[in-house]
């Protein structure tokens, strides 16, 4: 009979996994009847727990709670601490689903106490997670934060990377929601440190995939970060906030940076060859020595440092280079049509075969430039260019 009941339990599990919830419920009810006939309270409790899960899947929370409560009674009757903890956790989750947040928190507190008593770290983490979810759903973010902080401490003590990353993400988002941006950034920096460590440990890893596994948002979480030396070719940073980010020496070949915010970013010696920089915001960015053989239409490079940068054959129509530093830059064959170069410094730049049609050159310093014919010099001078 016990063997028959065990087969019914296995059958119910297979049915449940196939989303055949009513069939699973029938199987587990049959198993329960068999266990009760032999007064097997431990297995009866387990069957009731399974039935509760099936009822939850069918959105019948009242019946689910009834099953869990019966499981709880049996577990306590026979001193089954593990079964008791499972029943309490299930009751807490069912109450939360029914918006009974005070009941949910009470059950999770009881489950947490048992987990700590039995030194069940996994159960402790799960209880804290579900307690936090109940607090969050009830609008009690400080309560949720306390749970996440305890989670983080336990995860680090047991070297549980998955829970550590989840807790850091939850803490960052909670503090951001509370507009405590200083604390939110504290946890963001810890996430970034994990990504850097993981990436540098295994050079074959994809940086953006690692960032996602840690819980970083690719468009919002990299501003001001230190990403120097990373291989980010083909990376999708479309519209990303990378203001003041350290990207020194980074390989961004063929990366999508269209519409990205890169103002005051450090891109010294970065490789941006064939990267998409359409409409990118690069004002005051440091691009000295960078490889910018790419398309930058309408990009804002005002005040940017482009000294020694390689812009040969670059496509920059309608870009803004007001007050930019282009000393000794390579601009051979570049398309600078309709570019605003007002106040820019091109001392020593190579403009061989560059297209300066309709470019704004008021107070632009062309002293020492290479590749400019006498006729073009006269024309640029009449438009406000300076060659002295």
Q: Which residues does 310 contact at the CB level (< 8 Å), separation at least 6?
A: 290, 291, 292, 293, 329, 330
Q: Which residues does 277 contact at the CB level (< 8 Å), separation at least 6?
A: 257, 258, 260, 292, 294, 295, 296, 299
Question: pTM for the whole thing?
Answer: 0.77
Task: Quote the tokens at residue 250.
Answer: 């980074």
pLDDT (0 to 100) of residue 203? 57
Q: Could you give the percent of the chain with pLDDT greater than 90?
A: 84
Q: Which residues does 68 contact at the CB level (< 8 Å), separation at least 6?
A: 48, 49, 52, 87, 90, 91, 94
pLDDT (0 to 100) of residue 361? 95
When the pLDDT of each residue in the chain is averaged and rounded to a whole number, the result is: 93
pLDDT (0 to 100) of residue 233? 85
Terminal-residue alpha carbon distance, the chain: 102
pLDDT (0 to 100) of residue 205? 62
Q: In this predicted model, what pLDDT tens digit does every residue of 137-162 receive, in sequence order?
A: 999 999 999 999 999 999 999 999 99
Burial 18-49 (b: 16+ CB within 10 A, else e): eeebebbbbbbbbbbebbeeeebbebbbbbbb
Residue 225: helix, strand or coil by DSSP?
coil
Q: Which residues on neighbouring strands pair with residue 386, listed in sequence order?
A: 365
Stretches where the chain sits below pLDDT 50 are: none
Domains of the chain in sequence order? 1-79 (1.25.40.10)
Q: In this predicted model, what pLDDT tens digit does every residue of 196-235 receive, in sequence order?
A: 888 777 655 677 788 888 888 877 899 999 988 888 888 8
pLDDT (0 to 100) of residue 202? 67
Contact predicate 165/194, CB 8 Å: yes
Phi-psi region of 336 (alpha: psi -120 to 50; beta: other; left: phi over 0): alpha
């Amino acid at each position: 009979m016990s063997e028959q009941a065990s087969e019914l339990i296995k059958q119910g599990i297979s049915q449940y996994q196939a989303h055949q919830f009513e069939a699973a419920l029938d199987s587990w009810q049959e198993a329960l009847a068999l266990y009760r006939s032999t007064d097997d309270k431990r297995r009866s409790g387990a069957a009731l727990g399974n039935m509760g899960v099936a009822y939850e899947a069918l959105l019948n929370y009242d019946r689910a709670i009834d099953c869990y409560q019966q499981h709880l009674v049996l577990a306590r009757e026979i001193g089954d601490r593990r079964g008791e903890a499972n029943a309490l956790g299930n009751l807490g989750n069912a109450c939360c689903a029914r918006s009974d947040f005070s009941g949910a928190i009470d059950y999770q507190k009881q489950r947490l106490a048992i987990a700590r008593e039995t030194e069940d770290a996994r159960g402790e983490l799960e209880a804290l997670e579900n307690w936090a979810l109940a607090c969050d759903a009830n609008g009690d973010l400080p309560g949720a934060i306390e749970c996440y902080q305890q989670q983080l401490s336990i995860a680090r003590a047991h070297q549980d990377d998955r829970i550590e990353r989840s807790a850091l993400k939850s803490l960052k988002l909670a503090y951001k929601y509370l507009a405590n941006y200083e604390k939110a950034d504290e946890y963001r920096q810890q996430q970034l440190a994990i990504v850097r460590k993981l990436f540098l440990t295994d050079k074959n890893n994809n940086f953006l995939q690692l960032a996602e596994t840690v819980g970083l948002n690719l468009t919002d979480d990299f501003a001001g970060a230190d990403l120097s030396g990373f291989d980010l070719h083909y990376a999708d940073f479309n519209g990303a906030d990378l203001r003041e980010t350290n990207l020194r020496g980074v390989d961004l070949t063929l990366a999508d940076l269209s519409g990205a915010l890169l103002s005051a970013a450090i891109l010294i010696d970065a490789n941006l060859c064939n990267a998409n920089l359409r409409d990118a915001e690069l004002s005051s960015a440091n691009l000295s020595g960078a490889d910018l053989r790419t398309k930058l239409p309408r990009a804002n490079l005002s005040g940017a440092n482009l000294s020694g940068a390689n812009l040969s054959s670059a496509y920059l129509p309608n870009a803004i280079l007001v007050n930019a530093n282009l000393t000794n830059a390579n601009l051979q064959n570049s398309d600078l049509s309709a570019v605003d170069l007002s106040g820019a410094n091109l001392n020593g730049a190579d403009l061989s075969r560059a297209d300066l049609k309709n470019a704004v050159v008021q107070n632009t310093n062309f002293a020492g430039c290479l590749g400019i014919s006498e006729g073009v010099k006269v024309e640029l001078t009449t438009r406000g260019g300076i060659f002295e």
